[in-house]
Structure 1
Amino acid sequence: MTETVAERAQSDSAVPVSPERLIYFSDAVIAIAITLLALELPVPTGSVHGNHGVLEFLREHSAEYLAFLISFTAVAMQWMAHHRLFRYATGLVGGVIQANLVWLLMIVVMPFTTKMLTSEADGFQVQFSMYAADQALAALCLVLAFTALRRRGLLRANTPPGAITETLDWMTTVIVVFTISIPIAFMTHWASLSWIFLPVVRSAIRFARRAASTA
């Protein structure tokens, strides 16, 4: 019987493919996203005069520089988590590829959400929520991608459990903290301070995981 297009697509998606091309492609997208972050940084123009003027300009735009550092750190951590997880992949299937592509989408729009976060527009709640949701969704996509890898048995036999659990704990922490910060933004403009609790929440998640494994 002649195989239909849908059946052929489903069959192809069930066959693991090499992860190298996806990893290289992801690295290139990460590099572009970081470059775009830097290009959005404000620089003094010809209307700024003298050392005092430059220092005053830098002070006035300190929020943009801080947002850049936060986003750069977030992208760098996402990249390290991606490498730490996918280095043990022996193949890829459709679900993993789709989750990785959505993850790249979240990374690519991060320069935009970073700029939105520091925009002079008077819509803090929406601006903040877009940025926090971007961070949380990016981490969620990595968790979903790696969960699919484990479920399909596409991990090397020598995959160290500690490296995997530590990375997934951190991604879960990012999801929890940035998601919780969204409703906080509707109560105070200092919602970003909740992000300093990332290490505390990570420790709590790690403790809960260990307690569950020994129960």
Structure 2
Amino acid sequence: MTTHTGTHEQDDVAEPAGPERLIYFSDAVVAIAITLLALELPVPGAEAHGDTGVAHFMREHLTEYVAFLVSFTAIAMQWLLHQRLFRYATGLSGGAIRWNLLWLLMIVITPFTTKLLTSEADAFQIQFIVYAANQALTGLFFRLAFADLGRSGVLRPDAPRKVVADTLAWVDAMIVTFALSIPVALVTHWASVCWALLPVTRMALQRVTR
């Protein structure tokens, strides 16, 4: 005797989470980090008298203003690269979410490492290495997040390879540039000059990969 239940059992298949919430959350965190970065900028107080006093104050704090521009540029580049690549995600993997959160952690602590870099503490190597490591790890975690999307099969198949390759080349260049500046800081206080070579590093990496 055959029993017919009249129903069909179906396995529950978990749909991949949509990437929109992660992208919007990342945008918000980046915006907060940039805001905190600006709030750390020194502002002349009552001790700066007249135009001459304000100009003198700003000259004295030129290092902080330059560091702000460097960090703003670094965060802005990370955000632009994130927007450029995560638009091709059709879902999210657990690994990508975890790496993306670590990426955001590095973004969030950038105002702190920027302040540390320009503080009056007499510990240049520690100050520089902490900042450069912060930026190198930001790029590395971004790279790992996007790689996990590819391994998990949640990238659009029509994602333009050239756009992806060019974008990842910038990520790799940021990782390498900041990482290489760390050993340079052990021998000279001019290690930050290495950061200006970012476009050169990108071109060199592209030639190597080709």
TM-score tier, shorter chain, comes to over 0.9
When the two structures are superposed, what TM-score results if normalisation uses the length of structure 2? 0.92
| Secondary structure class of the residue paired with 1:17 | coil
The amino acid that maps onto 2:143 is V
1:141 and 2:138 aligned:
no
1:93 and 2:93 aligned:
yes
Q: Map 1:8-87 onto structure 2 (within 5 A).
A: 16-87=16-87
Query: What does residue 189 of structure 2 align with?
Result: 189
CA RMSD of aligned residues (A): 1.3
Query: What does residue 116 of structure 1 align with?
Result: 116
Query: What does residue 106 of structure 1 align with?
Result: 106
The amino acid that maps onto 2:27 is D
Whole-angstrom distance in 1 between the partners of 2:135 and 2:203: 20
Whole-angstrom distance in 1 between the partners of 2:209 and 2:29: 33
Whole-angstrom distance in 2 between the partners of 1:194 and 1:205: 15
Mapped contact 1:107–1:138 kept (Cα < 8 A): yes
C-alpha displacement at 1:170, in angstroms?
Answer: 0.7
Number of equivalent positions: 199
Query: What does residue 8 of structure 1 align with?
Result: none
C-alpha displacement at 1:208, in angstroms?
Answer: 1.4
C-alpha displacement at 1:16, in angstroms?
Answer: 2.0
% identity of equivalent residues: 61
C-alpha displacement at 1:116, in angstroms?
Answer: 0.4
Summarize deviations over 1:147-203 as a string: whole Å, max 9, x none: 111111111122111111011111111111100101111100000001111111100
Whole-angstrom distance in 1 between the partners of 2:113 and 2:15: 36
Mapped contact 1:139–1:172 kept (Cα < 8 A): yes
Point out where structure 2 has 5 or more consecutive residues left out of the alignment: 1-11
Whole-angstrom distance in 2 between the partners of 1:208 and 1:97: 30
Higher percent of residues as helix: 1
| Secondary structure class of the residue paired with 1:187 | coil
| Secondary structure class of the residue paired with 2:107 | helix
